Amino acid sequence: MSQLENFIRDHREEFDGEEPSPRVWKDLQQQLQADAQPTLKKNSGGRVLTLTILKWSAAAAILVLAGLGVFHLISRPAPSGTAEVKTKRDDILQKINPTYAKEVYHFTQLIELKQSELKQIEKDNPELYQQFLGDISQLDSSYNNLKKELPSNPNREQLLEAMIENLKMQTELLNQQLQIIQQIKQSKTQTHVKSI
């Protein structure tokens, strides 16, 4: 053994008898706190950063979902009645004559498409659009009246034929209106070309 070890062993009681001063403990405690604080700041800052990112992510997700919901509502065509009533009427059409039901569906889809084309002129020529809309709404109200009568009418086949005829007239009217719009656009482009 070394002399140091022998010395410590021989004077052990003297070493154990004395305790470090309170100042040493205070210095040690301050040093430990100073060393621990940066890690706490890093951890709490990381936690704060993580919580902030989570909050912003949640807010962004809510905005995206709300935007999709609004887009879905706007892009969906306006219903002509409640969904339950519409499905009952469609079921009646299927029961009466599936061929007529397919024709009605085909014409209503075509009319919706043409009406969306017609809506494009609303900004450029609102008076003409309102006039066209008035013409088509008269036929559409007649069609809706026929459709309401369908469940209670004993002459369903004739009523279905009248409904299909009405849809054909709406389609023809929309075609004429779209042709008028096309002619107006052509005349505007011709006058624009001539002026250049």
Residue 139's Cα: distance from chain center in Å? 33
Tell me the pLDDT tens digit for each residue of 167-180: 888 888 888 888 88
| Rounded Cα distance, 152 and 162, in Å | 15
Let me know if residue 43 belongs to a domain.
Answer: no
Tell me the pLDDT tens digit for each residue of 90-143: 666 666 677 777 888 888 888 888 888 878 777 777 888 888 888 888 888 888
Give the residue numbers spanning the domain of 117: 83-195
Which amino acid is present at 158?
A: Q
Tell me the pLDDT tens digit for each residue of 5-51: 888 788 777 767 667 778 877 887 888 887 765 444 444 555 667 77
Give the total number of structural domains in the chain. Answer: 1
Let me know if residue 1 belongs to a domain.
Answer: no
Let me know if residue 135 belongs to a domain.
Answer: yes
